[in-house]
Structure 1
Amino acid sequence: FDAYNAEMQARVPTTVWASGGCDSWYFDKSGVPNLYPFSPDRYLNDMHDPDFSEYRLIADSRESDAVQAAE
């Protein structure tokens, strides 16, 4: 995740959102972008085969409404 986040932040200066004084929801309070700066094709590729070793999965002990409804 750190490498992905660093790549995203490195790419943002090349976007229209960072080219001059954009003050909007595209950036958090620290100026970190929360906008995906790559192409739609890249997004589909990134989301198609995520590297789950980059994530920490935490089990939730609560059952979701969907699970309860299915029972």
Structure 2
Amino acid sequence: MKSFESLLTVDRCRETLLRFWTEQTDVDQAGEGLAIALPLLYPDGWQVQVFVEPISPAHVWGKVS
């Protein structure tokens, strides 16, 4: 049997978290942006969703028009 110390490594933790977020996060196109459904719930059971949209090319690329 492996000891706890040999199971808990930085790389294994990183791989596990990456796999979890990849499997549990839904990303879909929403108009000009993206809708991201996170594996997080509010206390009342509602799922946390984030919507990301570009403001303007100048803001996205850091250029001044």
Normalization by structure 1: what TM-score?
0.25
More strand per residue: 2
Q: Determine which structure has more spread, i.e. the larger CA radius of gyration.
A: 2
Normalization by structure 2: what TM-score?
0.27
More helix per residue: 1
Q: Which structure carries more relative contact order (alpha carbon 8 Å, separation 6+)? A: 1
